[in-house]
Amino acid sequence: MAGAKLTLILSGFIQAPGSEGLLPFWNGFIDIQKCLPNQLPLEQIVAHSWNSEFSSLVKSVYGPNDLAIEQQNCSFPQLACSVEAPTQIEVQSEKLSEIWDPISASRLLANAYSRSKAVQLAQELETGYGQALLTNWDIGQGNAVTRQRPILDAALPTEYLYLSSSADVDEGYCDNWAVMPLGLVEHFTDFADFVMASLVKENSYLEKFSRTGWPRAQRQSIYANLLKHPLAQGIHAGISCAVHEVLTRAQGTAFFSRVIRRLLTPLNRFLQRPTITAENSCIETSKQSKLIFPLSKALNGNSILKYFLLSKGLRQKTRFLTCSDFSSASQTGQLINPAALVLIVEDADDSEISTLLAESPLPLSSVYQLQKHRVIEHRFSDQSGWTISVLDATSKDPIDKLTVALNAITNASADFQPILLLPSVKQYLACSDWFYLNALLKYVAWSRSNFVSLDGMGKEQIFKDFPDLYTADETATFRCFNLIATAAPMLELVRELHNSESEHQNIGRKFFTISRRVPLFCDLSGHKK
């Protein structure tokens, strides 16, 4: 893929029918950023969705080149003409694998039509040569605890269509994401019509799936079926790690080490062996057993995708990838439509500010230094670049100086931009996850009235709209210099802090606190923020 450029094609529901919160949407945005290698620059984004109420959110988060958002008013009357298939399928719609959520025929068709419409938007752009990443807003994983990002690597040959591998590949190809040359994208313009034809028996999908025999499929062993259960997967992972650790330590020519290696090496090979399927074995198709599934399991986007690719003659161009195929270090990631922010620091010298302006991964619209008796404003404009102004403060009080900075932000009509308050420039540049921070800043700017404390203290319950956020306990306190918010609510807050004559404030409003396994910011002494 070296030298190629990438088109991101998004489709589906931003917020699934019947669900609460936007957590899957934000998880998808963060994961997509992290999966993009910097050798494959993102050139354009096209998107389609049925959630018209989130049009402004999509524009501010992704900044797509082309966007179509419609209200889903169609109940797909074609399904009524074929009562047997949709009715029998939906009566007991359960999946062979637990990672596939139950779904209705209308929902399956809605996702298919959304994907086809998004592909049509991509076809209308001057795309030229390059690769395309097709995925849903949530990467097809909803609120799943264990998430798998799309797998892209600039070293991969560009002529193939890449999908995620799974133990259930015989039943269907995972449709969470697909990477392919732009020349193959046109095949998906009629994907929705193919899904409809499959459900109303206008092709042989249902016949092959439940009666005559599913292509490229074979019965799996008891061991392989057991490994599909989450508990068995956990046990398998634990044993594999333990065996690998023992073998790593049993190096050298000592007698005991050689005995350990001789005993555990066969077990390690067995544990690392991939699941044998008809798709990855060398068994001829004609010699494979005719495997069929109950009709109630045919309402399955993965199985329909498999039959779609087989019908289009694309199987020979299809390859399957797992997260272990490439080193995670090669996935450097790309910031998508990075959010411009205002940074306020308690103090910084000139060299630190110069480093900040040159090295900040996120665009800075302005920076404010709160010095002893004044506030130094660094403001950027396209015409004149960076300009420096000195703003006088009424006292040495940090709250007074913060008020001066916030008033300047409001007067510059930048009150809609997210503001990040940190003690130092070095702490900002030491951010552990720029992709998460980019998403968080966009969320704060979109929600306007929300405050996010970086202290991670006083968490009460999980917040349903954004990952790793918790509603804050009303008794919790925070420092105003570890905070993200916009100007208007921030001004209101500092006035309250000024009246209370304290840098700390009880949280009694719309406050959230970050709680992450790896802190977002750390100071130089290693103290977690």
Tokens (6 digits) for 361: 């991964």
- For residue 79, the model assigns a pLDDT of 58
pLDDT in tens, 343-380: 999 878 889 999 999 999 999 999 999 888 889 999 98
Asked whether 450 and 509 are in contact (CB, 8 A), the reply is no
Residues in Cβ contact with 506 at an 8 Å cutoff, skipping those fewer than 6 apart: 474, 475, 476, 477
- For residue 289, the model assigns a pLDDT of 58
More confident position, 26 or 272? 26
Q: Tell me which residue has tokens 């958002």.
A: 69
As a whole-number percent, the residues of the chain with pLDDT over 70 amount to 83
pLDDT in tens, 199-241: 888 899 999 998 888 888 877 777 777 777 778 878 888 888 8
Pairing mode, if any, of strands 451-453 and 483-485? antiparallel
Whether 284 shows a pLDDT value over 70: the answer reads no
> Span 473-487, mean pLDDT?
76
φ/ψ bin of 288: left (φ > 0), alpha (ψ from -120 to 50), beta (otherwise): beta
Quick one: three-class SS letters along 301-354? Answer: HHHHHHHHHHHCCCHHHEEEECHHHCCHHHCCCCCCCCCCEEEEECCCCHHHHH
- What string of DSSP letters covers 28-86? HHHHHHHH--TTS-EEEEEEEES-GGGHHHHHHHT--SEEEE-------GGGGG--HHH
> Span 420-441, mean pLDDT?
93
